[in-house]
Amino acid sequence: MSDGVVSKVSVVRKALTGAQAAAEVMRQVEPDVVAAYPITPQTPIVQEFAQFVADGLVNTEMIQVESEHSALSAVVGAAMSGARAMTATSSQGLALMWEVVAIASSMRLPIVMNIVNRAISAPLNIHCDHSDAMAIRDLGWIMLFSENPQEVYHNNIVAFRIGEHPDVFLPVAVNQDGFITSHCVEAVDVFEDSFVKNFVGEYKAPYNILDFDNPISAGEWAMPSHYFEFRVDMKKAMDRSVGVIEKVFEEFYKETGVKMDFFEAYKTEDAEIVFVVMNSTAGTIRYVVDKLREKGKKVGVIKVRVYRPFVVEKFLELIPSAKFIAVMDRALSIGTTGSPLYQDITSGLFANKRIVLVNDYIYGLGGRDFTDDDAYEMYEHAEYSLKEGISGQIVYVGLNPNLLGR
């Protein structure tokens, strides 16, 4: 963790699940308003936080709304009032609030929302994949992904600083894998409360609807003469967030010794085959990369921490020797060439005139186990593809063909 920088911050090591790690930051930040609705596997976040509220450990107004749509709607109302406001959800809950997800970013409200990633219906499935988060990827939210409870903790702290920066004013979604991260206990280094409070600071909204002396109308409608510019302004804010994220990560590193980056590369400098992965599976892949390296294979892995903005140039800098990219998508885009992460990477390669073979490996949908054996198999497929010059293949990892329909 320290990596040459001695942390000035005192740290207590706690045994926390990913859900508890999110709730821990909420306790330390004490947002003004939290509105949430229970949904598996997000529920432990709001339960944990509700207990903090009930025990008087935080000075937060908690609204136990009657749906996720209302959860984010209440949070939008609170944020528009100048309050720091949060919510959390999963899967169907995120799908239900989709309308307001788009509104929150368009109204430029720096809400922080934890998403505990879960498959979307049908069939109903409560287990992990990234289909829920991927359905909001183009709506103007900054999206951070977390490998483990520790990263959930760190991502939640930086989220406020990024979203609330005046150059940005966009909401931030902190993602973690359902059950795998949200319900599994790991050691988490928790900073002292005062550090988190100071690092996050006070939220200063540029406008709010509780200023009776300077009343504003918020959430107006715009004719074709003005709408376009609102959208482009939002896009420009997302572009500006790149510099803000760099600075926040840098400051976080100086204060805590914890390094964060848009893409976190492992043994990619000379790697010819590079895996790209999000959230908890990154650990499995790093383990397999080590094993393959022992056999002399030139292989590495890139973990995506900042998925939106997706700064493909930063990604390309990390793979100077890559001849083949094995993109791992835990979501399946239907009706196009490849799934979300694959699309982001391949379009980035093309636009930057980099010719690299790429396959899209779809894995873990609806909580399907992904083991190190699956990773070795995937590697063999990648190695074969590189040798044969195969690219653009969509490969389903761990699929049982006997269960497929026609």
Smallest distance, other proteins to C-beta of residue 53, A:
11
**Residue 111 corresponds to which tokens in the numbers above?**
């809400």
What sign does the dihedral 173-114-266-284 (CA atoms) show?
Answer: negative
Residue 186 binds other proteins, judged by CB under 8 A: no
Smallest distance, other proteins to C-beta of residue 130, A:
26
Give the closest residue to 160 by CA, choosing from 109, 120, 123. 109
Residue 100 binds other proteins, judged by CB under 8 A: yes
Residue 220 binds other proteins, judged by CB under 8 A: yes
Report the Cα–Cα distance between both ends of the chain, in Å, rounded.
Answer: 50
Distance, in Å, from the CA atom of 68 to the CA atom of 32, rounded to the nearest integer, reads 19
Give the closest residue to 184 by CA, choosing from 383, 18, 375, 307. 18
One residue of 29, 75, 244, 349 binding other proteins per CB under 8 A: 75
Label residue 98 exposed, middle or buried (CB < 10 Å: 0-12, 13-18, 19+): middle
31 upstream amide cis, omega within 30 of 0: no
Residue 76 binds other proteins, judged by CB under 8 A: yes
Residue 61 binds other proteins, judged by CB under 8 A: yes
Distance, in Å, from the CA atom of 318 to the CA atom of 268, rounded to the nearest integer, reads 7
Residue 82 binds other proteins, judged by CB under 8 A: yes
Close Cβ partners of 64 (under 8 Å, ≥ 6 residues apart): 35, 36, 37, 50
Distance, in Å, from the CA atom of 277 to the CA atom of 328, rounded to the nearest integer, reads 5
Binding mask 104-143 vs other proteins (x if CB under 8 A, - otherwise)?
---x------------------------------------
Smallest distance, other proteins to C-beta of residue 241, A:
23
One residue of 16, 21, 22, 35 binding other proteins per CB under 8 A: 35
Close Cβ partners of 1 (under 8 Å, ≥ 6 residues apart): 7, 189, 257, 258
What sign does the dihedral 208-214-219-223 (CA atoms) show?
Answer: negative
**Site stretch for other proteins (CB under 8 A), options 55-63, 121-129, 336-344, 363-371:** 55-63
**Site stretch for other proteins (CB under 8 A), options 72-80, 141-149, 256-264, 300-308:** 72-80
Smallest distance, other proteins to C-beta of residue 233, A:
13
Smallest distance, other proteins to C-beta of residue 160, A:
16
36 upstream amide cis, omega within 30 of 0: no
Question: Closer CB to other proteins, residue 203 or residue 253?
Answer: 203
One residue of 3, 6, 56, 66 binding other proteins per CB under 8 A: 66
Question: Closer CB to other proteins, residue 213 or residue 388?
Answer: 213
Question: Closer CB to other proteins, residue 81 or residue 391?
Answer: 81
Distance, in Å, from the CA atom of 45 to the CA atom of 16, rounded to the nearest integer, reads 11
Smallest distance, other proteins to C-beta of residue 165, A:
20
Residue 226 binds other proteins, judged by CB under 8 A: yes
Residue 398 binds other proteins, judged by CB under 8 A: no
Distance, in Å, from the CA atom of 260 to the CA atom of 405, rounded to the nearest integer, reads 43
**Which residues sit at the interface with other proteins, rule CB under 8 A?**
32-33, 35, 59-61, 63-67, 69-71, 73-83, 85, 99-100, 103, 107, 209-212, 215-223, 226
